[in-house]
Amino acid sequence: MDENVFFTELSTESGLDIETCKRLYLAMVRVINRRVFEKYVIRLPHLGDFALVMRAESLSCVGKTRQVLPPKRTLKFYPLDKWTGYIYKKLGYSNKYWQ
């Protein structure tokens, strides 16, 4: 999504002007960034969790040789089950597994 379109829709939805929406959004990004690096996990209300998880070392082909890539942290997002269920329901998937 284009940045201008995103902030215009956010402004329309929230009833705030575009500049205020940009400031609020960037402040939220800074808070998430700071907390992820401090605690390695942050729970966002109504959405889910961002976490820096340790990826195991893995084997990779580099040219004609194989190299072991060292373990490193990667950013993962784990959506809330309620949110996932809502999305699946909107997409028309079976409600058998998502209550």
Model confidence at 46, pLDDT cuts 50, 70, 90, reads confident
pLDDT per residue as tens digits for the range 55-89: 999 888 888 899 998 999 999 999 988 888 888 88
Residue 9 CA to residue 58 CA, distance in Å, equals 42
Model confidence at 98, pLDDT cuts 50, 70, 90, reads low
**55 φ/ψ angles, rounded to the nearest 5 degrees:** -85, 135
Residue 63 pLDDT: 87
pLDDT per residue as tens digits for the range 8-29: 999 999 999 999 999 999 999 9
Does residue 99 contact residue 80 with C-beta atoms inside 8 Å?
no
Nearest to 46 by CA among 81, 93, 20: 81
The CA-atom distances, in angstroms, between 9 and each of 12, 15, 32 are: 5, 10, 22
Q: Summarize the confidence of residues 36-41 as an average pLDDT.
A: 93
